[in-house]
Amino acid sequence: MGFKKELTHRERAEENLQQQRNFLESLIKSLTQPFEKEISHRKRVEEKIRQQKDFLETLIESLTHPFYVVDTNNYKIVMANSEAKKLCNSSENITCYTLTHKVNTPCDDIEEHPCPMRVMKKTKKPVTVEHIHYDPDGNARNVEVHAYPILDDEGHVIQMIEYTFDITRRKQVEEELETYRRHLEHLVEQRTIEFKKANAQLEQEIIEHRQIEGKIHTIAQRLEAVFETVGEGITLSDETGYFDIFNSKMEVITGYTKEDANNSDDFLALLYPQPSERQTAIDGIHQVRQTEKYRYVETTIRAKDGTMKTLLVSTSLVPSQNKIYFLSAYHDITARKRTEIELQKAKEAAEVANHAKSEFLANISHEFRTPLNAILGYTQILIRTKSLTKKQKEAIDTIHHSSEHLLMMINELLDLSRIEARKLELEPADVYLPGFLKGIVEIARIRAQQEGISFECEIAPDLPIGVHVDGKRLRQILINLLGNGIKFTEQGRVLFRVLNNRFSAKERNAKSLTANIRFQVEDMGIGIPSDKLEDIFLPFQQVHTGQPSTEGTGLGLPISRKLISTMGSELHVRSVVGQGTTFWFDLEVPKVEGIIVSEAQPSHHVFDLKGETRKIVIVDDKDKNRAVLKDMLVPLGFKIVEATDGHDALAKATTFHPDIILMDLIMPVMDGFETTRRIRQVPELQGVIVVGISANAFATARQESLRAGCDDFLVKPIQLNDLLEKLHVHLKLEWLDEGKHEAQTTETELKQQPIVAPPAEELVALYELTVAGDVKSILERIKEIEAVKPALAAFAAQVCQFTEAFLLDDLEKFIKQYMEVSKVPKVS
Ligand code: ADP
């Protein structure tokens, strides 16, 4: 019980206690309730503050640039984000100046220092400054500082928030930009200067351009005027055939106006009614278009009035601003064409006349040659007659000399007409140059001696030995030039120069087989007035005498010039009146290697007939011609039968059986050609030699005679030596004096002038002087002899040659040979 009581009591006490407690609790609760509210409010506020603080811290921490708060009283950093902390190595006692400037003392009182704190303390407002901060390694960095003041209740700045941006890179970029800007500015300045210059230039150019434009305008106007006055049709058309220019001359030529041409559907069809011609014109334009080449054609158009006109049209392409134009000039040659046709007819007529002239010359020369044949033949026969008196001999010499002069004129006239008729053909052969030149030099020397002037020659030592040239023609030219030099020099000297022109290094290889030889004749004579220098090359121009001279023909130079031009060169002349004249020409001639030289061939006069009778028929319708030949041949031991025409010749030849027939080719009834043809048909006359003889010296006569069946050909007047040579060759006769003058065999025969010997008493006189060794007198004597008789030039040259070389033994033999010959039976 007690326990129960106890328990009850306890329970009650506990219950009381509980009640008290509840009371107290409710009392406390009622007492603390306002505080709790307060506390919970505060807690909430604190919580909010904390949250904000966290948020702020997180925010500040998340900033990518240094952010810190400075206590403005002691400069201490009271708060800094990790970016700010990176600026400083230590984490204690950090001040703003240690953080940013790495100095130990505040720097806000340094006036030139843009310290945001100093500024803000004054203004109490946020400030942004650019500053130099130093990183932990002491490197200066450019920073932009944004500073915000934190004020206390009284408005004092107690703290400062700084937020910095490293703008070093930006600064660098800015600096670079600045440099670049300055560079640009400089460039701009320069450009400006250049531009100003260019501008000035441009302005100048514009001025010039305007001037040019003005000029172009003037030119265009002039051009238009030219187009109008040029006398040629001018058109400028585009590819569609539209005419920009169609001048008035073109309107005259065609009869169409520019409008007609442009309004016509097919203007070419109007001009060229024939489709084929039209097509040719179109093709021509296309050709110009494609080749872009100038085209020049002759064309025939039909003018508006239906007349046909021949035009020379030149068309060229004129590209202009993406367009193509055709500029054409039309020259109306209708009248000229007509004249050309007439001219052609006239030319043909002239050619016929020229041909007739040549024929006439050939015929007339034939007519001259026939009597000359007799004269020269007889003088050659008579000159050997011993019984003549001195006077008679002189008379015969004069006849001979005059006849030779006449013959020379005829030959020169023939040459000229041959050259003019382009019928002269060169007959080049291998020529032994030293011998050839020596012959010429000798002739010139003797002539000079006769004239009493000195003669010099300068022959280059390096000339080729052999050349391939027409020696006869070259000799003719040189003798003419030298002869003139001597003839027109009264005192002083004539110089003959033969030089070897060197080829240039370039030409040398290609021309190794040719020589370029200069022939030059310099005299110290009367000279030729400069206004006559061309005249001397015209036939029959003898500028000094003013009248025909017996000294020359006035044909030498025209022939020489033409011969030289036929040889592919040019004859030059230079002259000073009173001082002298120089003629020269360069000949390019093939060189001949290994030429074998012969001595001069002696002139033979007597055949060794060895007792045989050699028979000759002389056929000529002219008694005189027959008589000359007969008189030449009978004394030599030949048996002669004369025939007066072709029929007579055939009859006599058949019965007489001659060894040789000397056949005049031009005869009445039956000419020599026909007779020869018939002879060739007669079996009994097989093998008879026929030598055609004609006064026609044209090569065609020779060819024709050979075609007719002649074995050889002789030209009138007959030279005794030539005739003897033919007999020697065809009758295979030996010379009676053979062996006395052994001529060396020749591979290339020198064509020498036939040697005519002086009369016997002259020969005797010369012989005696030679035996006596009187060189001076020999030369004087021979000079005298030749002075009287130029026909002896070749003989005299040979004598001089031997004498000057002191080959008196040879000279003795040489003269003796002619002395013996002159003992030939006299002409009956
Ligand atoms: P030719 O001598 O027969 O009269 P050319 O035709 O050889 O005929 O010469 C024509 C003219 O040229 C001569 O008559 C002479 O007036 C002049 N002539 C030619 N050569 C000379 C010269 N060397 N010096 C002066 N005049 C010359």
- What does the pLDDT read at residue 678? 94
Task: Please tell me if the CB atom of residue 544 comes closer than 6 angstroms to any atom of ligand 1.
Answer: yes
Spacing, Cα 149 to ligand 1 middle (Å):
131
Written as one string, the DSSP assignment of 497-539 is EEEEEPPPHHHHTTTTTEEEEEEEEEE-SS---GGGTTGGGST
Torsion 473-475-480-485 (CA) sign: positive
d(CA 397, CA 87): 145
Contact status, residue 196 vs residue 211, Cβ threshold 8 Å: no
Tell whether omega for the bond before 106 is within 30 degrees of 0, i.e. cis: no
Q: Which of 736, 688, 734 is nearest to 712 (CA)?
A: 688
Who contacts 755 (Cβ-Cβ below 8 Å, separation ≥6)?
A: 600, 602, 603, 721, 794, 795, 798
Report the atom number in ligand 1 closest to the C-alpha of 483: 2
Cα(474) to centroid of ligand 1, in Å?
Answer: 18
Give, for ligand 1, the residue of 405, 476, 484, 583 to mutate: max count of ligand atoms closer than 8 Å to Cβ.
484
Residues 243-290: tens digit of each pLDDT: 988 988 899 999 999 999 999 988 999 999 999 988 988 898 888 888
Task: Tell me the helix, strand and coil percentages in the chain, rounded to 5.
Answer: 50, 20, 30
Number of neighbours of residue 529 by Cβ within 10 angstroms: 13
Torsion-angle region of 773 (φ positive above 0: left; ψ -120 to 50: alpha; else: beta) = left
3-state SS of 723-746 is: HHHHHHHHCCCEECCCCCCCCCCC
Using a 6 Å cutoff on CB, does residue 525 contact ligand 1? yes
Residue 623 burial (CB count, 10 A): 11
CB 221 within 8 A of CB 317: no
Cβ–ligand 1 contact at 644 (below 6 Å): no
Ligand 1 pocket, residue 581 CB under 6 Å: yes
* Nearest-atom index, ligand 1, CA of 542: 14
**Helix (H, G, I), strand (E, B), or coil: what is residue 468?**
strand
pLDDT attached to residue 134: 86
Segment holding 35, helix H or strand E: helix 2-62
The pLDDT of residue 595 = 66
Burial of 193 (0-12, 13-18, 19+ CB in 10 A): exposed
User: Nearest-CA neighbor of 618 among 638, 636, 644, 651?
Assistant: 644
Whole-angstrom Cα Rg for the chain: 65
CA distance 423 to 624: 31
Site to probe by mutation for ligand 1, drawn from 536, 555, 562 as the one with most ligand atoms within 8 Å of Cβ, is 536
Q: H/E element holding 554?
A: none
Closest protein CA for atom 2 of ligand 1: 552
Go through 491-500 and write b for each residue having 16 or more CB atoms within 10 A of its CB, e for each that does not. eebbbbbbbe
Residues of the chain with pLDDT under 50: 546-550, 598-604, 737-752, 823-828
DSSP string across 403-467: HHHHHHHHHHHHHHHHHHTT------EEEEHHHHHHHHHHHHHHHHHHHT-EEEEEE-TTS-SEE
Tell how far the Cα of 541 is from the centroid of ligand 1, in angstroms: 8
* 421 touches 355 (CB < 8 A): yes
591, with CB counted inside 10 A (0-12, 13-18, 19+), is middle
Contact 659, 632 (CB under 8 A): no
- pTM given for the model: 0.42
Phi then psi dihedrals of residue 292, to 5 deg: 55, 25
Give how far the C-alpha of residue 774 lies from the chain's centroid of Cα atoms, to the nearest Å: 62
- The answer to whether the CB of 554 is under 6 A from ligand 1 is yes
Cβ 542 under 6 angstroms from ligand 1: yes
Q: pLDDT value at position 699?
A: 66
Contacts of 757 (CB under 8 A, 6+ apart): 603, 763, 792, 795, 818, 821, 822
Q: Report whether 641 contacts 661 (CB < 8 A).
A: no
CA dihedral of 693, 695, 699, 704, whole degrees rounded to 10: -50
Which amino acid makes up residue 650?
Answer: L
Residue 825 has a pLDDT of 32
DSSP-assigned letters across all residues of 566-587? HTT---EEEEETTTEEEEEEEE
What tokens were used for 90?
């230590």
Q: How far apart are the CA of 556 and the centre of ligand 1, in A?
A: 8
The pLDDT tens digits for 629-642 are 888 788 777 889 99
Instruction: Tell whether the torsion through CA atoms of 735, 738, 743 and 747 is positive or negative.
Output: positive
Rounded to the nearest angstrom, the gap between the alpha carbon of residue 429 and the centroid of all alpha carbons in its chain is 34
Q: Is the CB of 409 under 6 A from ligand 1?
A: no
Instruction: Calculate how far, in angstroms, residue 528's C-alpha sits from the geometric centre of ligand 1.
Output: 9
Question: Looking at residue 272, what is its pLDDT?
Answer: 92
Q: Which residue has the tokens 């300055």?
A: 182
Q: Which two tokens stand for residue 766?
A: 């010369």
541 lines ligand 1 (CB under 6 A): yes
CA-nearest residue, atom 4 of ligand 1: 554
Check pocket membership of 746 for ligand 1, CB cut-off 6 A.
no
**Of 414, 342, 340, 406, which is closest to residue 368 (Cα–Cα)?**
406
Sign of the dihedral through C-alpha 487, 489, 495, 497: negative
Buried b (16+ CB within 10 A) or exposed e, 202-235: eeeeeeeeeeeeeeeeeeeeeeeeebeeeebbbb
The residue nearest atom 11 of ligand 1, judged by CA position, is 542
Distance 718 CA to ligand 1 centre (A): 29
Q: Which atom of ligand 1 is nearest to the CA of 557?
A: 6
Report the relative pairing of strands 308-320 and 67-71 from DSSP bridges: unpaired
Neighbours of 550 (CB within 10 A): 8
> What token pair was written down for 488?
């027109």
For ligand 1, whether the C-beta of 484 sits within 6 Å is: yes
Does ligand 1 lie within 6 Å of residue 488's CB atom? yes
Nearest Cα neighbor of 434 from 458, 457, 463 is: 463
